[in-house]
Amino acid sequence: MFKRKLSALNYPQVDSLNTSDENEVKKVILWLEENKIKKYKPESRQNIRNINSSEWKKSYDKYKQDLACPIKSDVITDELDWFIKYALELEYNSKKATYEKHTVENLKSASTPNVIAANPLDHLDFGGKDFESGVKNLAQILKISPHPNPLITLKAISKVVCNRLSRNAIEKPNDFIIKGTPFPFEDANLGFDLGDVLLNRAAKILTLLYIQNLRDLQTKSNELIVAAQSITANPKTDTKLGKVGK
């Protein structure tokens, strides 16, 4: 159970370590003190170096006290675990700068381009009057009916911009803008009746949104199949095999 941690600390006899042998555990504790923890000066480590002495237990208890080890159980392996963790902590803190290069956040940011901290959008006041009227104007230009909450209007604007005003959509509108034929939505059968004209209308709109969602999903599945086909497909025909019956 200590193998990984000890090998991280470069303990030499990781593979042969037998933690049920008390003497070996003592040796590990001593090694940790001598190489990693270094609580005592080298010359004052004599007492705990003497692991075979009858006085060892006494000096060990003192050592624990000096390190403020919180483990109260008399199981020496529990204490060993604490010593190792403590040593790891010291090790980490001493080389913090090196290790932090490898944290998830840092790895992520290393692979993505640096975000310019001076993004003007970060300093926008989303609650301000200027923002509200700006969004309203933008919505008017794009012919989007504004929602009382400017953030929701902004979301709608972003959808229009992404779907209709992207570079692809402007350069090749036939390929990227989905062409549909209008469907008489008022006459469409909803499949159920909520007993209220307005509610039925709202339910119809939700149904249409749901269908659109489903369509997107299906289109993505189809794209996935086509991608897989580019690897697997190899249609063959052999007219010699053909035979017309009677």
Partner 1 sequence: MNVEGCFYVNATLEKLMLDELRNACRPGMVGGFLPGVKQIANVAALPGIVGRSVGLPDVHSGYGFAIGNMAAFDVNDPLSVVSPGGVGFDINCGVRLLRTNLWEKDVLPIKEQLAQSLFDHIPVGVGSKGIIPMNARDLEEALEMGMDWSLREGYIWAEDKEHCEEYGRMLNADPAKVSMRAKKRGLPQLGTLGAGNHYAEIQVVDEIYDKWAACKMGIEDKGQVCVMIHSGSRGFGHQVATDALVQMEKAMKRDNIETNDRQLACARIHSEEGQDYLKSMAAAANFAWVNRSSMTFLSRQAFAKQFHMAPDDLDMHVIYDVSHNIAKVEEHVVDGKPKTLLVHRKGSTRAFAPHHPLIPVDYQLTGQPVLIGGTMGTCSYVLTGTDQGMLETFGSTCHGAGRALSRAKSRRNLDYTEVLDKLDQMGISIRVASPKLVMEEAPESYKNVTDVVNTCHAAGISKKCIKLRPIAVIKG
Residues near partner 1 (CB under 8 A) are 181, 183-184, 188-191, 207, 211, 214-215, 218, 221-223, 225-226, 228-229, 232-239, 241-246
| Residue 29 burial by Cβ neighbours in a 10 Å radius (0-12, 13-18, 19+) | buried
Q: 129 vs 183, which CB is nearer to partner 1?
A: 183
Report in angstroms how near the CB of residue 36 gets to partner 1 at its nearest.
58
* Both tokens assigned to 77: 């392996």
Q: Which of 54, 48, 109, 117 is nearest to 83 (CA)?
A: 48
Report in angstroms how near the CB of residue 209 gets to partner 1 at its nearest.
12
Q: DSSP class of residue 6?
A: H
Report in angstroms how near the CB of residue 240 gets to partner 1 at its nearest.
8
Q: 42 vs 182, which CB is nearer to partner 1?
A: 182
> Dihedral of CA 33/38/39/41: which sign?
positive
- Got the DSSP string for 171-228? H-HHHHSPP-----TTTS--SS--S-HHHHHHHHHHHHHHHHHHHHHHHHHHHHHHHH
Q: 22 vs 216, which CB is nearer to partner 1?
A: 216
How many C-beta atoms lie closer than 10 Å to residue 184's C-beta?
6
Q: 112 vs 239, which CB is nearer to partner 1?
A: 239
Report in angstroms how near the CB of residue 145 gets to partner 1 at its nearest.
24
Report in angstroms how near the CB of residue 210 gets to partner 1 at its nearest.
9
Q: 115 vs 231, which CB is nearer to partner 1?
A: 231
Report in angstroms how near the CB of residue 174 gets to partner 1 at its nearest.
13
Interatomic CA distance for residues 7 and 170, integer angstroms = 59
* Both tokens assigned to 30: 């001593």
Q: 126 vs 185, which CB is nearer to partner 1?
A: 185
